[in-house]
A and B are shown apart, each in its own frame.
Chain A
Amino acid sequence: AQKVTQAQTEISVVEKEDVTLDCVYETRDTTYYLFWYKQPPSGELVFLIRRNSFDEQNEISGRYSWNFQKSTSSFNFTITASQVVDSAVYFCALSEARGADGLTFGKGTHLIIQP
């Protein structure tokens, strides 16, 4: 069975600080995808990144970066120079490559950026 653990229920930082959201996953598959989604206070789910299990390169997109380490089954997300607009709930998710459909989600990390 697949499992995604986001141990940080809530994180609060002051604007401009860097913050890392942790994600640890479990799967028996050798081929799988990992995702991060953002859910702002308005409630919609916004796709941030998808990474397949064969691609361990770190990725950077503006102030966002992701660190994928298969050795520790982790897919951590770092926001550099955080802004108030980054306040949201962030979900890490996992899917099997051969799976039809469904993602297994972590329970989410509520990130609060204080001005």
Chain B
Amino acid sequence: NAGVTQTPKFQVLKTGQSMTLQCAQDMNHEYMSWYRQDPGMGLRLIHYSVGAGITDQGEVPNGYNVSRSTTEDFPLRLLSAAPSQTSVYFCASRTVNSPLHFGNGTRLTVT
């Protein structure tokens, strides 16, 4: 049972490049979400999904897109990377009565 798997673990982008952060869970959890962690800021919600085909915005959605075509996968897309998106990104999932299970994070640097 792998839990929540994020890839890649590290990524360096140049300003303006696009990329997709992958997230997959094998626990059949309905809810999935993306957070970013910045120094001194805690974790902030970017986007979330309550099930396949349903997504919604969190606290800091600008510059990010998501989709949920399957229960297992919840990719996060950066369409045109900016230095302000340098951060550590965490994907998480849960079912109705469980706490959030987090992936190990993706450290993204935008130069």
Which chain A residues border B44 with CB–CB below 8 Å? 105
Question: By DSSP majority rule, is chain B's interface helix, strand, loop, or mixed?
Answer: strand
Among listed A41-49, A55-63, A69-77, interface-contacting one:
A41-49
B27 to chain A minimum Cβ distance, whole angstroms, is 13
> How many residues does chain B have at the interface if contact means C-beta atoms less than 8 Å apart?
24
Across the interface, A44 reaches (CB within 8 A) one of B35, B50, B99, B102, namely: B102
Q: What are the interface flags for B40-82 relative to A under an 8 Å C-beta threshold, 1 for contact and 0 otherwise?
A: 1111110011100000101100000000000000000000000
Q: Contact between B56 and A100 (Cβ–Cβ < 8 Å)? A: yes
Residue A50 lies at the interface, judged by CB distance under 8 Å to chain B:
yes
Which chain A residues border B31 with CB–CB below 8 Å? 100-101
Q: Contact between A91 and B88 (Cβ–Cβ < 8 Å)? A: no
Residue A64 lies at the interface, judged by CB distance under 8 Å to chain B:
no
Cα distance A66–B31 when bound, in Å?
Answer: 27
Q: Contact between B99 and A47 (Cβ–Cβ < 8 Å)? A: yes
B92 to chain A minimum Cβ distance, whole angstroms, is 8
Across the interface, A107 reaches (CB within 8 A) one of B42, B45, B48, B50, namely: B42
Cα distance A45–B49 when bound, in Å?
Answer: 20
Task: Categorize the interface residue count of chain A.
Answer: 20 to 34
Q: A37-B102, A45-B43 given. 12 additional CB < 8 A pairs?
A: A43-B105, A44-B104, A44-B105, A50-B99, A101-B31, A101-B49, A101-B58, A102-B33, A103-B43, A103-B45, A105-B44, A106-B42
Measuring CB to CB, which residues of chain A are less than 8 angstroms from any residue of chain B? 4, 9, 35, 37, 43-45, 47, 50, 91, 93, 100-108
Task: Return 24 A-B CB contacts under 8 Å, by A number.
Answer: A4-B42, A9-B40, A35-B99, A37-B102, A43-B105, A45-B105, A47-B101, A100-B31, A100-B56, A101-B33, A101-B45, A101-B48, A101-B94, A102-B33, A102-B58, A103-B43, A103-B45, A104-B45, A105-B35, A105-B43, A106-B42, A107-B40, A107-B41, A107-B42
